[in-house]
Structure formats: structure tokens, C-alpha cells
Amino acid sequence: MLQLKNIKKSYTTGDFTQVALNNVSLNFRKSEFVALLGQSGSGKTTFLNVIGGLDRYDSGDLVINGKSTKQFKPRDWDAYRNNSVGFIFQSYNLIPHLSIVDNVEIGMTLSGVSSSEKHQKALDVLKRVGLSDHLHKKPNQLSGGQMQRVAIARALANNPDIILADEPTGALDTQTSRQIMDLIKEIAKDKLVIMVTHNPELAESYADRIVRFSDGQVVSDSNPYSEEAVSADYKLKKTSMSFFTALKLSGKNILTKKWRTTITAFASSIGIIGVALVLSLSNGFDKKISEFEKGSLSNYPITVSQTAVVIDTSTRPGGQRETKAEFPSDTVVYSHDSVASSMTHTNDITEDYLTYLDKMDSAWLDGISYTRLVNMNTLIKKDGKAVSLSLADAGFAAYPASPSGSGQNYLEQYYDILSGSYPQAETDLVLVVDEYNQIDSGVLAALGYDAGAGSISFDDILGQEYKLIYNNDYYVQAGQYFTINGTPDDLSALYDSEDAVTLRIRGIARIKQDISISPLSGSVVYSDKLAQDFIENAKNSEVVKAQTDAEYNVLTGSLFAEESNTAGGMSGTMMGSSGSSSGLQTKENVLSYLGATSVPVSISLYPVDFEAKEHITDYLDAWNESLSEDDQIQYTDMASLITSLSGNIMDGITIVLVAFAAISLVVSMIMIGIIIYISVLERTKEIGVLRALGARKKDISRVFNAETFIIGSFSGILGILLTYLLTIPANAILYKLTELKNVAQLNPVHAIALIIISVVLTMIGGFIPSKMAAKKDPVVALRSE
């Protein structure tokens, strides 16, 4: 069954070579009790280790059931030890942190035996060796003879073909030795038992065959066997240790060092706590900023204007990008077009685009406001005389109109009426004050009040009237030009005309207390329908018809500029009503000023919330998908710019703080590596036992990887739990200092991520020690104390 042919084995230390086995050839029967005798250093233990696959022979061959082991790979030797060999050691070599049953089961676990089957087999062999009453004890709770019985039970559990016993009674008293030898003798009835002993009397009393060694050679054999048993059916069952088994082994080992593990995990968790606290504070501040932004910026409008400006000083006229050095030494002057360099983009807002906006889902919008270049001819009574009112100086602006079908009113939703009422008709105006009930003194003066009085009663404001005069009444033709119908210093005739439209301040409003930003504060707001009605009337007015046909400004007689400068024209004329048109430079601007077109120069879309804002921007982007860059309609989303800036600042601060806190994680990783290395040293004998039972090198690595996994998980979970506890006093301190409630909030996703990071870092820290453990020589490991 077992054959050794010309086995040689030597050990080299420096320049010295020790021959342990020298051309040893022996055949063994399938079942017999063989005792190996010889002085120390004669080679008998090396012979036993070679048979057990713990040591590799240098030359020769070891044949098991006719199968040569010359071509065995490391995993084949592991499987051979697990399937075919059972070891009984002088020092028992039980794993101290496992129970008796677990020690017996471990070899079967490597064979892949099911839990129920291996447990039953363990109970059977423990009963056979007389330990049925000690199943759940630990090795240190047993006597020497009982521990050796456990070792025998472990060797028998996987039903091996060969039992190798190295001085099995060397540490036992005489009576216990006889009991153990009787047990081994019984085992030898159906197995090959090879025992190393220094006791010739014991060998003579129990062994069927005695083989004596001297200087690495067999010098005598009391019962030699020459027949060679041949079998072609011998197969090895590969061994494997699952990660769960490794966790179980390491977990029970860790339980024997609870305080050390806890302190290690706590020290390792400090880095996790630092990072987690930074993330919790960052998350909390982000939420507070987000709450502020949603409260103050969610209704901040998305604006589409006729002119969009993107500053880009690196662009030369003609669109060619050119980088110029500062403070050149050149002796020439370069021309420069500031308009071209600013990348002015003109949006062509058409009726089609306005129709496209009208089709937008009304559920996304609180309101839409339009800014128009039209000059609505408005008069005010001052000191008994009617004069033109500059709508720009008086802060006139159209309030956002509720989208069709929304059933909402923008003013009612965001503004409280302090006195009077919300507008009921197109001609109703509302004066909007800021949160301090203030209005700019210039606006008050333009509206006809004494700004130097300090305060003005609501009653003095409510009911204040202004007159809107249509073009045909406001302008009269004088030859080729048009002038204001009357003396500019007193337009009372127009003011008192039956065709004049009366505008009246119906209410005084203020932003609601839970809204942070008021885009209408300091304005006199009116319905956009008022402007639309004025434009519809103006389109058929004589002055518009004349201007449509003329190539000069019919109000001033000046010629138009050759190129359009819409931005410049608007800056001086938008909503102006003073009668001056000197700021109008193009025919298009003059026509808009007179009310010839209903296309606004700017559109402001007020989202319901941030989510709706995303839908709106997607909708606006969809218009541009099939258009060239020049034909696209660009918009300004100021809320996104602000939130992006604040978010980037917060992210930058968080990254810096996390980077500092993460330094301790690196220190923790190094510390874990040291702890695992110490564990490797402490568990060296366990490594040898596992290798003797058939564990592969990767299985040994897995055991220590499992230990680092447990420590890393414990460390991460402990760090997260401590972080959640620390957020309580942290929030209390922050509330006392800043009056911000519940700032420190650890995101559960961050918590899980940090636990995973803790596990990964500890496993990286334990990687090298686990590899060192796997490379340990099993023979050397079994000799360690």
C-alpha cells in the first residue's frame, strides 16, 4: 500500500549539509502497527514527516496505492495529508481556542464534509476514545491523557489510511501511556499505524513490526514486506477551507483576546470617527445650505434675454482664440473689439419660441414675467400739473403671471398684503416694500412723494392715480416727425382726457417671512396684460406706421446706426417714459419702444421648486438640440450658479478635512499589520496543525484575512456607533454657538462606505502578515511553542 523507494532527504545550513535520510526503501502493509526506533537524529522523525507529506524528499519516490508522488503539486500534498494521513503528536497540538468537538471536526471541514455529517462522525470517534462526556470543553480543561485521546480522535475522524504517531506517550505517565497504546493498537487492526518512539519496551509490547534507524538509514526490520500493492483507483479529494470556516476559527481565537481586540479596534476606529465626523458635519451643513437655497433660491427665475454675454478675454475678433502675454515689450498698438471679446450672444426670441414656452408644463411654474422695451406713456400729477412719469425711475415692473391652468397667483403665493388688496383688474398696481417696509427714496420721489419726510402713511399711498396715454393721443405729427401732444411741462389735457386709462395703487405688499429673496421688492408691479393691451393698440398707431416706413428716427430725426447694438439701446430706453429717445440707436429698438412688437426682450421663468427647475432647463435645452450654436437660445440660471459655487466650496473644505482625518486611517492600517503579525507569531503552531490536517497555503492566508476582516468590521462599526453618539454633543455645541439645529448628520450611505473602507484598509494592512503565515514551514511551525 505504502512504498518508499530510495528516499533521500538532507538539510543545508550555511556551508553545512546534514543528511537526514539516505536511500531509505521500505514497504508497508495496508494494516499493521510499525514502531520506528533509533537515537535522536537518526532520521526517524524526518522519515515520518516525509510519509506525512510535511517534508518533501529530495530524491527517490513515495508511492501510495501504486500512485507515485513525484509529480505531486503543493495542493496534491495538501489533499494527501487530508485524505490519507492522520497525525498524533507528542504535544497533542490541539487548537486551544476551539472546543473538543471543533478540534475533531476541523480536518473534515477541509474535506468539504457537510456540517451534520462531520458532527456525527466527531461524536462517534470521541465516543470511541472515551470522551463522550467532554465534548464542549476546551483543551486546557483536559488532562494530558484526555488531550492525547482528542488528538487520536482527530486523526481518525477523516478515516485516513495511515496514522502517524510521533512519541504519542512521551508526555504521559505509565498508566496513561498503556491506555493510549491500547487504543492505538486497536486502531492498527484496520489501518497502517507508524509510530516513532524512544521506548523499546513499548515497541516490543505493542508493535507488529519494529524498524530501527541509524544515521538516516534503516539498519533492521523485524517484519519486512516486499510485495508491492498496486491500485489504479487511488484519487485525491481536493481540500478547501471556506471563508466562513476561516471566520469561525479567527472569531474564536479573537474571543480569547477580547480586551486586546477591543482596544485595537478602538484605536483603529479613531480614523473612521474623524472622517465620519467631518462627513456628518459636511452633510449637515450641506442640508442646511440646501434648505436655505431651496427656501431662498428655488423661486429664483431662469432668465432668457435677447442678449447673453459670456466673458472670454482670450478670444480675438473673428472668433480666433489667441493667448497674449501681459505687459509686452512690443512697440506697436493692437486693435481690440471689446464686444467681440466678450462673446456676446444674441438670442432670437421669436413668436414660435414664445409659443414653445407657452406649451411648458404649468405644474413646473409659479409664474412667468416679461420685460418689454415698450414705452408705456404714463403721466403723473405733481403740484397741480401733469408730467411724464419715468417708469424706470419709478420702479415699474410686470409681476409674474400665473401659467395657464395652474390655478395659482404668484403675488398671493409669495407676498402678504399689508394694506389694500391684491390686484383685481389690469389697471391695478401694487407697491412692494422690502422686509423693513422700505422703498428707495428715488423711487418714492419719482412716484410723487416727499422722500425727505422719512415715512409715508399707507393711506397716503393707497389710491394714488397715474394715467396711461395711448400713442395716437400722446404723439402728434409735425411734418416728418412726431412730438408729444402738448407742453412737456404740463400735459394736463392728456391727463384729463376721457381716453386716458387710470392706473391706481390698489395695495401695498411685502415678501412672506418664510421666503428669503424677493425679486419684486422696491417696485410698483403691474399685470403684463396691461403692457400687452398697450402694444395691441400701439401696433395700429400713426407713429408706429410712420416709423415702419421711415429709415430715420421719427421722434428725433437722427439716422440709425448701421449695426444693431441692442444691449446699448435697451440700457437707456427700457421702460423709459420721459419722452426722450436719444438712447435708441436702431430702427428695431425704436419700433419696440413705440410698441410695434409684442416680443419681449427678456423672459423670467419662476420654478415651483428645484426639481421643477431641472425639468424647465431640460425643456429649454430641448429647443436647442437641432440648432446650430448661433441659433440656439441661451438662458441664465442664477440659482444653479450660486448653488454650484456654494457646493464646490463645501466640497473643497470637506475634501481637505477628510484628507487630514484620513492620515489616521493609514496609521491604523499599519497598526493592524503589526497586530496581525503578532497574531501570526502567536498562532504559529495552529498554522502547523492546519497544514498537517491538509490546509492549503491559501487557506492559511484566508484564516488571517478573516481575522483582519473581523477586526476591520468591528473597528468600522464601532467607529460609526461612536460617531453617532458624538454627534449628540457636537450638535449641542453647534446649536449653542450658531443656533443651527441638528447640523451633524451622518449619511447612512457614508456610514456603510466607511465600514467597507475600514474593512478594506485593515485587510490591506494584514495582507503581508497573512502571506508570511502561509509561507511558514509546517514542520517548523509544529515545533514552535
Number of domains in the chain: 3
pLDDT: which is higher, 344 or 465: 465
Q: Comparing C-alpha atoms, which of 44, 338, 337 is closest to residue 215? A: 44
Based on the fold, state whether residues 287 and 422 are members of the same structural domain.
no
d(CA 508, CA 432): 6
The pLDDT of residue 477: 92
Decide: helix, strand or coil at residue 705. helix
Based on the fold, state whether residues 278 and 394 are members of the same structural domain.
no
CB burial string 666-702: b at 16+ within 10 A, e below: eebbebbbebbbebbeebbbbbbbbbbbbbbbbbbbb
Q: What is the DSSP letter of 364?
A: G
Q: Comparing C-alpha atoms, which of 206, 234, 240, 241 is closest to residue 222? A: 206
Based on the fold, state whether residues 658 and 760 are members of the same structural domain.
yes
Is residue 405 scored above 70 in pLDDT? no
In a domain, 334, yes or no: no
CA atoms within 13 A on the CB side of 160: 31
Alpha helices in 137-211 (DSSP H): 144-157, 174-187, 200-206
Is residue 233 scored above 80 in pLDDT? no
pLDDT: which is higher, 379 or 745: 379
d(CA 368, CA 356): 13
pLDDT: which is higher, 145 or 611: 145
The pLDDT of residue 15: 84
d(CA 593, CA 556): 13
Q: Going by C-beta distance under 8 Å and a sequence separation of 6 or more, which residues neighbour residue 748?
A: none
Query: Ranked by mean pLDDT, which of 346-360, 391-405, 601-615, 653-667 comes out on top?
Result: 346-360
Based on the fold, state whether residues 662 and 777 are members of the same structural domain.
yes
- Average pLDDT on 526-550 reads 93
d(CA 331, CA 562): 33
CA atoms within 13 A on the CB side of 170: 13
Based on the fold, state whether residues 180 and 263 are members of the same structural domain.
no
Q: What is the DSSP letter of 535?
A: H
The pLDDT of residue 231: 56
In a domain, 316, yes or no: no
d(CA 712, CA 761): 8
Q: How large is the C-alpha radius of gyration of the chain?
A: 48
Based on the fold, state whether residues 505 and 449 are members of the same structural domain.
yes
408 confidence band (pLDDT: 50, 70, 90) = low
576 confidence band (pLDDT: 50, 70, 90) = very low
Sheet (strand 302-305) strand order: 365-371, 602-607, 302-305, 636-637
In a domain, 621, yes or no: no
- Average pLDDT on 104-126 reads 86
Q: Going by C-beta distance under 8 Å and a sequence separation of 6 or more, which residues neighbour residue 8?
A: 19, 21, 22, 23, 24, 57, 58, 59, 60
Based on the fold, state whether residues 378 and 472 are members of the same structural domain.
yes
**Phi and psi at residue 43, in whole multiples of 5°?**
110, 0
The C-alpha cell at 380 is 403723473
Cβ(238)–Cβ(688) below 8 Å: no
In a domain, 110, yes or no: yes
The C-alpha cell at 113 is 464534509
Q: Going by C-beta distance under 8 Å and a sequence separation of 6 or more, which residues neighbour residue 130?
A: 149
- Provide the percentage of residues in the chain whose pLDDT is more than 70: 88
Out of 238, 263, 282, a domain closes at 238
Q: How distant, in Å, are the alpha carbons of 149, 210, 612 from that of 205?
A: 20, 11, 95
In a domain, 250, yes or no: no
Cβ(153)–Cβ(126) below 8 Å: yes
In a domain, 615, yes or no: no
**Per-residue model confidence as pLDDT tens digits over 63-86:** 988 888 998 898 889 888 888 899
d(CA 296, CA 639): 9
d(CA 7, CA 61): 6
Across 306-439, the runs of DSSP E, i.e. the strands, are 307-309, 344-346, 365-371, 378-382, 385-388, 396-398, 415-420, 428-433
- Average pLDDT on 117-143 reads 89
Sign of the CA dihedral running 288, 645, 413, 508:
positive
Across 447-600, the runs of DSSP E, i.e. the strands, are 465-468, 475-478, 481-484, 501-511, 523-526
**Per-residue model confidence as pLDDT tens digits over 267-291:** 888 888 888 888 888 877 777 666 6
Based on the fold, state whether residues 219 and 265 are members of the same structural domain.
no
Conformation bin of residue 95: beta by default, left when phi > 0, alpha when psi is -120 to 50: beta
Based on the fold, state whether residues 262 and 118 are members of the same structural domain.
no
Q: How distant, in Å, are the alpha carbons of 151, 288, 656, 684 from that of 103?
A: 8, 57, 51, 16
Based on the fold, state whether residues 142 and 194 are members of the same structural domain.
yes
Out of 608, 633, 668, a domain closes at 608
The C-alpha cell at 287 is 442640508
Q: What is the CATH number of the domain that holds 110?
A: 3.40.50.300
Decide: helix, strand or coil at residue 21. strand
- Average pLDDT on 365-390 reads 90
In a domain, 115, yes or no: yes
In a domain, 361, yes or no: yes
Based on the fold, state whether residues 577 and 686 are members of the same structural domain.
no
pLDDT: which is higher, 325 or 703: 703
Question: What count of other Cβ atoms lies within 10 Å of the Cβ of residue 114?
Answer: 9
333 confidence band (pLDDT: 50, 70, 90) = confident
The pLDDT of residue 384: 87
Across 242-356, the runs of DSSP E, i.e. the strands, are 302-305, 307-309, 344-346
Based on the fold, state whether residues 232 and 259 are members of the same structural domain.
no
Q: Which amino acid is at 775?
A: K
The pLDDT of residue 578: 42
Out of 546, 581, 608, a domain closes at 608
d(CA 55, CA 46): 7
- Whether pTM > 0.85 for this model: the answer is no
Give the domain extent around 779. 255-296+643-783
d(CA 66, CA 32): 18
